[in-house]
Structure 1
Amino acid sequence: MAISRPRSRAIPLLPLLLLILLAPLIYSVSRMRLSWAPEQLPHPDSRKLPDALVLGPAAGQGRTDRLQCQGLKAVNKISLASEGKYSGELVSFVTVFTAYNSDPAGAGKMSSDVVTVGKHSYSKVERSMAILNTFISFIQVSMPTSKVIILTDPKSKLSINQGRATIFPIDGNYSRGNLMLQRIKSYIAFLELKFEKLDQVNSFSNYIFTDSDMVVVEDLGYIFKRYPHCHLALTFRNNKGQPLNSGFVAVRGTSDGISKAIEFFKKVLEAYNLKYMKASRMLGDQLALAWVVKSHLPSAFGKFSSPEIFTGEVNGASVLFLPCAVYNWTPPEGAGQFHGMPLDVKVVHFKGSRKRLMLEAWDFYNLTSELSDMLCLILKSGRTKYDF
């Protein structure tokens, strides 16, 4: 009698093949899961912005039109002090500034927001004043005959004890959300007052309206001397969204120059109110500035990709267009193309979180008395985001 045996099940061929093919993938995924374990993640404190300068390579090395550095020594840049440059043009720098007081409830307590730069420690309010004082100090070094005029809220309790710097109160709304709009209004009010008094003085001063987080490293008076027929000067960059930077506007101090500038700023203010109030806190003024230029001189936008000086007429004013690369240079933060610092840079703009670097640069200059070496410090530190 035949004995029946249990029949063995054959393993389907397709699932077996899939298992063999997927085995390496399953192994690699398991390895990735292990590498992503929470204990392997960087500690949150390691992601904080650095509290000291971080020096990196000096970009632009080998290019004859870029600053060359060996360590923190400039190879191909001569300090302004040894050049003795002076255009002979009278220039006054005008900036809008107001101090925002911290929470009174925190008075007398040790702030966790204190930042130390060199031998000095600054609270949030103090560092803002330190930036303003550094702005003035650099102008006194590079353009010692120039005045600095600070347009501010009459209610603001500013105290400036720096030689040729003066406070000029102008009524207005200087709240944080309205400051960029108020800045244009303050410019107009200031120029109107200067226009009224022109016939009472024998000489006049040209004006450069700037942000206070800028460092002027060379005499800018020659702009007015070399381009005598221009009423205004603006700085441009190859940026489709914000091609004009409002942090630097030069105005010739003649009656014609001031009157043209007043009309120009009024056009910008009008565009701001009608089109860009939703961007009032940060970008409204720059968007309005670009809109006015585009409305009257659309051909200018085709020239912004090339860093060459050019002129054009905007609403009846002769406008000189200066490349930001030289007259409003900003150290790039992190990503993007970075070809170094132009050898003929005139103004360095410490936007956003670069402001600590501005104070560090002043400390370094005080140690070395060399503007050129200070530029190497900025160049090698400018790609890092700092704490203010």
Structure 2
Amino acid sequence: MRFMSGWRRFLILVPLLFFLAHLFSVNELQYNPPPQRPVPPNKHSKYNHLVLGPAPGQGFTNRLHCHPQGIKALNKTHFSTAPTSLADNVHFVTVFTLYNATPADDDRSSNLVTVGNASYTKLDRSMAILNIFVNFIQAAMPRSNVVILTDPASDLSIHRNGVTIHPIQGEYSRDKLMLQRIRSYIAFLESRIEEVSQNQGHNEHYIFTDSDIAVVDDLGPIFHDYPNFHLALTFRNNKEQPLNSGFIAVRGTRGGILRAKAFLQEVLKVYISRYMKASRMLGDQLALAWVVKSHPSFDPKKFTKANAFIEDIGGAAVLFLPCAVYNWTPPEGAGQFHGMPLDVKVVHFKGSRKRLMLESWNFFSASSDISDMLCLILKSGRTKYDF
């Protein structure tokens, strides 16, 4: 009987123990709530100010390292303003045109964007980007000239030393601008052939670029370190779009210009025959990749390693330069885990990164420190901006 009595007392205590344990757990949760998962931002939202975040690349010896707090480079990049050669000049060539906007659209306060102490309309933004494109070139390569290829009907007015406006007839509508860009490059090279024949011994090399790039180091050594190429392209490890058309270098000899012209004519032919559905964007890059990859001796696996190499493509000696150095793009979202290469020479502010280009120049103008400016780009390159 005593055994049964003890057993009954035990059965009575079990619910009580369970209740006390539950009460303790609830009490503990009140003091130590479970961590809340961060709510992801709307992927379509854009910011009207810089949002600094962690700088990837820590632990990699060949990557830019930035201070965890503030905007300060822990290792310095090389930035030289000394001309590489007194005999050779480098001309930067870009295609740029203005599109008509109604006064109502341009004056609408919702369309104004403020960067620093300045507010920009849509037209102002375009011109500001173009001027900063020139600013970076003249800071990094003060002996270089800028040539702007444009629609003769475009009311483009820019009065700056070392800048030339070169009108070329063509179709500059938004839907055909990438196609027209190749045609403008070809027309410009044709205009150079006769002049080169008259100036033997004095080379003027050409770098065709988008107008949303920042040159942050001297690019003249390309033409000296790789003396045997006719034109140069930039590549990345991307199966479908390994080549970026925002940077094309052409050696300024007669042979270099003729072979570069023939190469671009082949790209134009492929563009028109295969990729007109992508004429507004990407068609030129797809055509570039097709011309290169369709060459029988070319091995696409070379695009998987960020090392420069030269290949003969249709009679032209083509130098392939890694985008990581000569066409680096600030990340949007979770890209570029390995950060910015320490020897980066060109930063490409594609798409909505235009505001970051203006912010970067403002920062550089105030600090005159290219390494710190690159940290600003690296730490703020994870946000979609309002351009």
Q: Structure 1 length normalisation: TM-score? A: 0.85
Consecutive unaligned residues in structure 2, runs of 5 or more: 1-38
Consecutive unaligned residues in structure 1, runs of 5 or more: 1-40
Q: Report the AA paired with residue 232 of structure 2.
A: A
**Mapping of 1:369-388 within 5 angstroms?**
369-388=368-387
Shift of residue 201 of structure 1? 2.7
**Mapping of 1:275-354 within 5 angstroms?**
275-296=274-295, 299-354=298-353
Contact 1:297 1:314 in 2 (8 A): no
- Relative distance call for 1:42 and 1:273 in structure 2 (3 A) is closer
Counterparts of 2:254 and 2:41 in 1: how far apart (Å)? Answer: 61
Contact 1:54 1:384 in 2 (8 A): yes
- Name the SS of the counterpart of 1:99 in structure 2: coil
- Name the SS of the counterpart of 1:293 in structure 2: helix
Shift of residue 84 of structure 1? 4.7
Structure-2 residue corresponding to 1:146: 144
Contact 1:136 1:162 in 2 (8 A): no
Q: Report the AA paired with residue 233 of structure 1.
A: A
Q: Is 1:54 the equivalent of 2:51?
A: yes
Structure-1 residue corresponding to 2:115: 117
Shift of residue 105 of structure 1? 4.6
Counterparts of 1:328 and 1:145 in 2: how far apart (Å)? Answer: 21
Shift of residue 358 of structure 1? 0.2
Contact 1:297 1:312 in 2 (8 A): no
- Relative distance call for 1:225 and 1:337 in structure 2 (3 A) is closer
- Relative distance call for 1:243 and 1:126 in structure 2 (3 A) is same
Contact 1:300 1:312 in 2 (8 A): no
- Name the SS of the counterpart of 2:111 in structure 1: coil
| Aligned partner (choices 61, 65, 75) of residue 64 of structure 1 | 61
Structure-2 residue corresponding to 1:157: 155
Counterparts of 2:219 and 2:125 in 1: how far apart (Å)? Answer: 27
- Relative distance call for 1:179 and 1:53 in structure 2 (3 A) is same
- Relative distance call for 1:111 and 1:297 in structure 2 (3 A) is farther
Q: Report the AA paired with residue 205 of structure 1.
A: E
- Name the SS of the counterpart of 1:292 in structure 2: helix
- Relative distance call for 1:308 and 1:193 in structure 2 (3 A) is same
- Relative distance call for 1:47 and 1:149 in structure 2 (3 A) is closer
Structure-1 residue corresponding to 2:269: 270
Counterparts of 1:209 and 1:298 in 2: how far apart (Å)? Answer: 27
Give CA-to-partner distance per residue, 1:67-104, whole Å, 9 cap, x none.
01123111211452xx4543213100000000112124
**Mapping of 1:1-388 within 5 angstroms?**
48-70=45-67, 71-78=70-77, 80=79, 83-88=80-85, 89-106=88-105, 109-202=107-200, 203-296=202-295, 299-388=298-387
- Name the SS of the counterpart of 1:220 in structure 2: coil
Q: Report the AA paired with residue 103 of structure 1.
A: T
Shift of residue 47 of structure 1? 6.6
* Number of aligned residue pairs: 344
- Name the SS of the counterpart of 2:101 in structure 1: coil
Counterparts of 2:130 and 2:301 in 1: how far apart (Å)? Answer: 36
Counterparts of 1:352 and 1:298 in 2: how far apart (Å)? Answer: 34
- Relative distance call for 1:74 and 1:337 in structure 2 (3 A) is closer
- Relative distance call for 1:306 and 1:78 in structure 2 (3 A) is closer
Q: Report the AA paired with residue 128 of structure 1.
A: S
Contact 1:99 1:158 in 2 (8 A): yes
Contact 1:209 1:250 in 2 (8 A): yes
Q: Report the AA paired with residue 58 of structure 1.
A: A
Shift of residue 161 of structure 1? 2.2
Shift of residue 110 of structure 1? 3.3
- Name the SS of the counterpart of 2:185 in structure 1: helix
- Relative distance call for 1:68 and 1:42 in structure 2 (3 A) is closer
Q: Report the AA paired with residue 273 of structure 1.
A: I
- Name the SS of the counterpart of 2:304 in structure 1: coil
Identity of aligned pairs, percent? Answer: 64
Contact 2:241 2:286 in 1 (8 A): yes
Q: Structure 2 length normalisation: TM-score? A: 0.85
User: RMSD of the alignment, in Å?
Assistant: 1.8
Structure-1 residue corresponding to 2:6: none
Shift of residue 298 of structure 1? 5.3
